[in-house]
Structure 1
Amino acid sequence: MTSRTMKLIAFMQAQNCSNYVGSWRSPASVPDFLTPAYYQRIARTLEDACFDMAFFDDRLAMPDIYGGSADLAVEHGIRTVKMDPTIVLTAMAAVTTHLGLGATASTTYFEPFDVARRFMTLDQMTGGRIAWNIVTSLNSAEANNFGKAAHLDHDRRYDRADEFVQIVRDFWTAWDPDALVIDKQAGRFADPAKVHRTTYHGDFFDVDGTFTVPQSPQGHPVLLQAGQSGRGLAFAGRWAEVVFTAFSNIEKGAQTSAAIREAVAAAGRDPEKVAVTPAVGVIVAETEELAKAKEKIIRGHARQEDGLVLLCETLNVDFSGRPVDKPFADEELAAMSWHGLRDRVIATSGTPNPSVADFVTFSGRGTIDEGRVFRGTPSQVADQMQEWFDTCCDGFVLSASTLPGSYEDFARLVVPELQRRDLVKTEYAGTTLRENLGLDKPSRPAATATGVTGP
């Protein structure tokens, strides 16, 4: 086995479809997504294939920006159901012993203590297998669900997120690893000198308290984030241990990966300690002809309304009633919520002021083209993955076009070929997610200019 192996991560949704909306329409997709058995079947498949982690994406509202209504999303099943991923992943944890499990939690609509306690408790209950996917949320529908008058603008959300994560990490390291004594005879439970108070005063938060959950076997959950440009990239550089990204091709991948590592170095961290993992889809079959036939069927499950609804959700802009060929003005583009998607459309379309038609065409939202798709026989898919791995990334976030079939096909056909090439593990390195990802156990952070950590 080589010293460097691919990280394999499954991209999950606690809802009626995968990130490919059309997946629920496939006869090959199992419809019992409201049961623990659905997620447990996938978990067993992933662990048998030595996947490092499954992580759940999330939104805090139904897509209802297009036309100011959720009717289109409800009628066509466009990411309509959204369960709490932190609860769903416990069902997967119950039937696995090594598989890492990640969940999304918003720094805009939750509070630091709540996230810190919930995720550290999950980490304790799973023996150190949890990751937190940090998001700042995307749209006004989420603000409405939380009783907020408006959604914070892009950069302010990241300003809040910086404070939020600092506090969460201070909480997570408030207990020294050896703080627990549990000496029944002496009546001594823990060493007070090793349980530290967290005090933080910032623009968004004033915290002064002592955290209530000791450190987990891996120290604290792994930090996963998807910042790709501008303010989000700087945020990822400061905090992320695994960066979830998207590449349109290998050349763009090399550029994006280099930018991420530069941002990590600029934040004073070791770029080699951060894993860059692009989202990809895989369509694989025993022969090239079968793979092409499968892809044709999968593409047939997409609908035009899928892309429109999803674009409005992620950009926080209502496309309904707007001429499809009318370019967006600079100020309209600046107000869009997801800058990474906006910038990707501008780059791939070749126009600084794209239209609705450009966003639909070049974003790929609602189709399997949204991320890079590796297709063909097991050997052909492995060749494509190996080329990317050797050039621009540390592993992959696997998206599913049918559930659980996409993961079963990958585990049955592609993983053995990758293992034969010594590109992925044949057994887990340890019991914690950090061990399996090759990440260091975190230490207690030093005090900052705006946050004071003390005993």
Structure 2
Amino acid sequence: MTSSKRQMRLGAFIMATGHHVAAWRHPASQSDAGLNIDHYRELAQTAERGKFDLVFVADSPAGWERAKDPEALRRSSRGAHFEPVTLWAALSQVTSHIGFVATASTTYEDPYLLARKFASLDYISKGRAAWNVVTTGADVSKNFTIPGHPAHADRYERAEEFVDLVKGLWDSYEDDAFIRDKENGIYLDPDKVHQINHRGKFFTVSGPLNVGRPIQGYPVIVQAGASEPGRELAARTTEMIFTANQTLEDAQEFYSDVKGRLARYGRRPEELLISPGIFPVLGGTEKEAQENYDYIQSLIHPSIAWTILQRHYKGVDLSGYSLDDRAPPLPENTELNKSRLKLVTDLVERNNLTLRQFYLAVAGARGHRTVVGTPEQIADAMQEWFDNGAADAFNIMPPILPTGLTDFVDQVVPILRRRGLFRKDYEGTTLRENLGLARPANSFALARATRTAV
């Protein structure tokens, strides 16, 4: 029986061989993971065995840019991996409860096609699909027939219209539009099929969608932006937000700020789940955990270290620095990922890092919280944030895969259960049911009901 106590939600944030930049070199990693379906099948089934709510892969429409240092390109494992919707459609057939969050870009995708493939995924998975809405910070316009990468503000304005449009397309068919009466030869009710006739600043789409309304009404809407426009988009449209915070105080500020914006959109605090990432490095003792962390850090080749640094110092000449010099201020002006820039800037300034300490700090968690310790200490760290207004959920970011996820499921999850913080079994069959999120009403049916009531 499920506890009536507030329950923590868990997601497995999967990064092929693991989140650490050198994970592919670790003896316990699956080095060909990015294109190994058996590897992903094992991970999804492990997460479901642990009763996780969801699995998630980050994604970008970018190709792998050729590094200035050929040695760095030679030693990098992040270039090739599956497209997420295709991957999740396959894995939904070997699981029964866990949800699937796929990243898709509002800057580089088409609303009609995106609405169609996510509605299809929701049917294929029997109600377990989620869309991670991203505006894409990196300039990948050279791979697409558009004039150039849009400015940050323009990307978010486009995203606002994009999300509304996709939701409208998902409402094309009311839930009871399909009659399928064989005896009388009536398949559907035309009065319950709707064109959206959208005419906006960025898009003109008539509809209807050629897929029925998703099982969940809408696939769960997820987002990761933490800039000012990102927070506002989340408050208006998002149901789960992935975030990166280093300290309890920063996490509490973010949690309070975003939850505080919901009321002006007629939403309640429980309608948006906030899920910071955590990079757990486990060991039987503190000493063993630290040794595990030090070992994987030692696998970073110097060419990769400088590539990590140059990625954060775009346009800055670092040739006069050594790794043991203090990290210079990061460039302030960017049209890329503003919230992540602030995160790493705070990390450098708060801890007065050297360049070596900087690249080591972001080589694994990329600015997310790193916790090195025993299973009890990992559970303690999570509970502190969960109990103190900083998190509703956690995105678990295993350093190495598959062992990092298996160890977390086998060693940390039982502790969370003993403390009454995490489920023993799933509450429902859809992702919405397991996250405690309501199924949205069809906007056309709702409008008709309102007219009838008046």
Superposition TM-score, scaled by structure 2 size: 0.89
CA RMSD of aligned residues (A): 2.8
Distance in 1 between the 2:317 and 2:81 partners? 24
Separation in structure 1 between the aligned mates of residue 135 and residue 184 of structure 2, nearest angstrom: 47
Q: Does 1:23 align with 2:23?
A: yes
Name the structure 2 match of 1:96: 95
Q: Secondary structure at the match of 1:60?
A: coil
1:87 aligned partner:
86
Displacement of 1:175 after TM fit? Answer: 1.3
Q: Give 1:129 shift.
A: 0.3
d(CA) in 2 for partners of 1:433, 1:285: 32
Aligned CA distance change for structure 1 residues 360 and 87 (closer, same or farther; 3 Å): farther
SS class of match (2:187): strand
Cα 1:266–1:359, aligned 2, differ >3 Å: closer, same or farther?
A: farther
Residues 253 and 305 of structure 1, relative CA distance in 2, 3 Å threshold = farther
- 1:120 matched residue in structure 2: 119
Q: Work out whether 1:387 is the aligned partner of 2:400.
A: no
Query: Shift of the alpha carbon at 1:289?
Result: 3.0
Q: 2:367 aligns with which of 370, 373, 376?
A: 370
Q: What SS does the aligned partner of 2:88 have?
A: helix
- Match for 1:276: what amino acid? I
Letter in 1 for 2:43: I
Alignment of 1:111 onto 2:81: no
Aligned-partner SS, 2:206 = strand
Name the residue aligned to 1:146: 144
Whether the aligned pair in 1 keeps the contact of 2:427 and 2:433 (CA below 8 Å) is yes
Residue in 2 that maps onto 1:397 = 395
Q: Secondary structure at the match of 2:222?
A: strand
Paired residues, number:
437
SS at the partner of 1:139?
Answer: coil
Q: What one-letter code is carried by the residue in structure 1 that aligns with 2:209?
A: F
Shift of 1:64: 2.3
Quick one: structure 1 residues 136 and 263, their matched pair in 2 at CA, closer, same or farther if it must change by over 3 Å? Answer: same
Equivalent residue for 2:407?
Answer: 409
Q: Which moved more, 1:401-410 or 1:299-308?
A: 299-308
- 1:283 corresponding residue in structure 2: 281
Secondary structure at the aligned position of 2:241 is classed as: strand
Structure 1 SS opposite 2:18: coil
Identify the match of residue 166 of structure 1 among 154, 164, 178. 164
Q: CA deviation at 1:431?
A: 0.4
Q: 1:257 to 1:363 in 2, by over 3 A?
A: farther
Give the 3 Å change call, closer, same or farther, for CA 166–363 of structure 1 in structure 2: farther
Question: Which residue does 1:12 correspond to in 2?
Answer: 14
Which residue in the other structure is 2:61 paired with?
A: 60
Amino acid paired to 2:373: G
Q: Contact (CA 8 Å) 1:245, 1:277: kept in 2 or not?
A: yes
CA distance in 2, matches of 1:193, 1:27: 60
Cα distance change, pair 360–182 in 1 and its aligned pair in 2 (3 A): farther
Q: 1:349–1:135: structure 2 CA closer, same or farther, 3 Å change rule?
A: same
Residue type matched to 2:382 in 1? Answer: M
**CA apart distance, 1:220:** 1.8
Q: Secondary structure at the match of 2:230?
A: helix
Report 1:287-306 matches (<5 A).
287-306=285-304
Aligned equivalents of 1:198 and 1:178: distance in 2?
18
CA spacing shift, 1:308–1:183, aligned 2, 3 Å: farther
More divergent stretch after superposition (361-370 vs 277-286) = 361-370
Matched letter for residue 18 of structure 1: G
Whether 1:48 and 2:46 are equivalent positions in the alignment is: no
Deviation at 1:227, TM superposition (A): 1.6
Q: Which amino acid aligns with 1:374?
A: V
Tell me the SS of whatever aligns to 1:282: strand
Q: How far has the Cα of 1:242 moved from its partner?
A: 0.5
Q: 1:256, CA displacement in angstroms? A: 1.1
Confirm whether residue 39 of structure 1 aligns to residue 40 of structure 2: yes
Tell me how far apart the structure 1 counterparts of residues 240 and 353 of structure 2 sit (CA, whole Å): 32
Which whole-Å deviations, capped at 9, do the CAs of 1:182-208 have from their partners, x for residues lacking one? 001111111111111112111111111
SS at match of 1:41: helix
Letter in 1 for 2:344: V
Could you tell me which runs of 5 or more consecutive residues in structure 1 were left unpaired when the two chains were aligned: 448-455
Q: 2:194 aligns with which of 196, 206, 225?
A: 196
- Provide Cα deviations, 1:200-254, integer angstroms capped at 9, x if missing partner: 1111111112111112322121011012122121112221100000111111111
How big is the shift at 1:286? 2.8
Q: Which moved more, 1:436-445 or 1:356-365?
A: 356-365
Name the counterpart of 2:248: 250
Structure 1 stretches of 4+ with a deviation exceeding 4 A read 310-313, 318-329, 355-360
**Structure 2 letter corresponding to 1:167:** L
Distance 1:201 1:404, change over 3 A: same
Contact 1:228 1:260 in 2 (8 A): no
**Contact 1:45 1:408 (C-alpha < 8 Å) held by counterparts:** yes
Q: Secondary structure at the match of 1:161?
A: helix
Q: Give the direction of change, closer, same or farther, for the CA distance of 1:308–1:225 in structure 2 (3 Å limit).
A: farther
Identity %: 34
Write the distance in 1 (CA, Å) between the matches of 2:127 and 2:371: 32
CA distance in 1, matches of 2:371, 2:318: 36
Deviation at 1:322, TM superposition (A): 6.8
CA distance in 1, matches of 2:356, 2:297: 19
Q: How does 1:174-253 map to 2 (within 5 A)?
A: 174-253=172-251
